[in-house]
A and B are shown apart, each in its own frame.
Chain A
Amino acid sequence: MTAADRASDEGQGWAVWLRSAGRYIREHPGLIVSLVIIGSLLATALLAPWIAPFPNDAGTATNLLATLQPPGGEHPLGTDLVGRDVLSRVLFGTWSSVGTSLLVIAASLAIGVPIGLFSGAVGGWVDEILMRVVDIFLAFPSLLLALAIGAALGPSLEHAAIAIVVAWWPWYARLMRGEAAAIRGRAFIESGRLLGLGQVRLATRHILPNAAGPVVVQASLDLGGVILTLAGLSFLGLGARDPVPEWGLMVEQGRSLFQTHPWVAIVPGAAIMLAALAFTLLGEGLRERLDPKGATRR
Chain B
Amino acid sequence: MNDVTMNDTTMNDTTINATPTKDPVAPLLAVRELTVEIGGVTLLDIDELETDRAEIVGLVGESGAGKSLLQAAILGLLPVSARVTGSIRFDGIEIVGASRRTMHEVRGGRIAVVLQAARAALTPTLRSDEWIDRALSLHDVPKAERAVRLAHALDAVRLDPRLLHRYPHQLSGGEAQRVSIALAVALRAELVLADEATSALDVTVQAEVAELFRELRASEGTAFLLVSHDLALVAGLAHRINIIERGRIVEHGGPEILEHPADPVTQALVAAKPALPRADATAA
Interface set of A (CB-CB < 8 Å, partner B): 186-188, 190-197, 201, 205-206, 209-210
Contacts and interface: CB of A to CB of B under 8 A. Distances in A.
Contacts of A209: 123, 125
Interface in B60-84: 75, 77
A201 B108 CA distance: 15
A188 B107 contact: no
Contacts of A193: 77
B139 interface: yes
A196 B125 CA distance: 19
A191 B123 CA distance: 9
Contact of A196 (B109, B123, B126): B109
Given A194-B108, A196-B138, A210 B125 contact: yes
A191 B125 contact: no
B138 A205 contact: no
B18 interface: no
Nearest to A212: B125
Q: Give the most central of A186, A196, A209: most B CB within 10 Å.
A: A196
29 contacts: A186-B120, A187-B117, A187-B121, A188-B121, A188-B123, A188-B168, A190-B115, A191-B121, A191-B180, A192-B123, A193-B77, A194-B77, A194-B108, A194-B113, A194-B115, A195-B108, A195-B112, A195-B135, A195-B138, A195-B183, A196-B104, A196-B138, A197-B108, A201-B138, A206-B123, A206-B125, A206-B126, A209-B123, A210-B123
Nearest to A186: B120
Contact of A187 (B104, B109, B115, B139): B115
Interface in B70-114: 75, 77, 103-104, 107-109, 112-113
Contacts of A192: 123
Interface of B, helix, strand, loop or mixed by DSSP: loop
Nearest to A202: B123
A196 B121 contact: no
Q: Which of B109, B115, B123, B183 has the most CB of A within 10 A?
A: B123
Interface in B244-273: none
A194 B125 contact: no
A210 B124 contact: yes
A117 B34 CA distance: 36
Contacts of A210: 123-125
Nearest to A195: B108
Nearest to B195: A194
B123 to A, nearest CB: 5
B122 interface: yes
A181 to B, nearest CB: 17
B134 interface: yes
5 residue pairs, one from A and one from B, having the closest CB atoms: A196-B108, A195-B108, A187-B120, A191-B121, A194-B113
A33 B9 CA distance: 72
Nearest to B114: A191
Contacts of B122: 188, 191
B8 to A, nearest CB: 21
B107 A191 contact: no
A209 B138 CA distance: 19
A195 B113 contact: yes
A221 B254 CA distance: 63
B90 to A, nearest CB: 14
Given A194-B75, A196-B104, A210-B125, A205 B134 contact: yes
A194 B116 CA distance: 13
Given A188-B120, A191-B122, A191-B180, 8 more contacts: A190-B121, A191-B113, A191-B121, A194-B113, A196-B109, A196-B138, A205-B134, A206-B123
Contacts of A188: 120-124, 168
Given A196-B104, A196-B139, A205-B134, A191 B77 contact: no
A191 B115 contact: yes
A195 B180 CA distance: 11
Interface in B165-223: 168, 180, 183
A265 B75 CA distance: 68
B126 to A, nearest CB: 8
Contacts of B124: 188, 210
A245 B183 CA distance: 59
Nearest to B80: A124
A183 to B, nearest CB: 10
Nearest to B135: A195
Nearest to B193: A194
Contacts of B104: 196
Contacts of A197: 108, 138
B70 to A, nearest CB: 14
Contacts of B77: 193-194
Nearest to A193: B77
A189 to B, nearest CB: 8
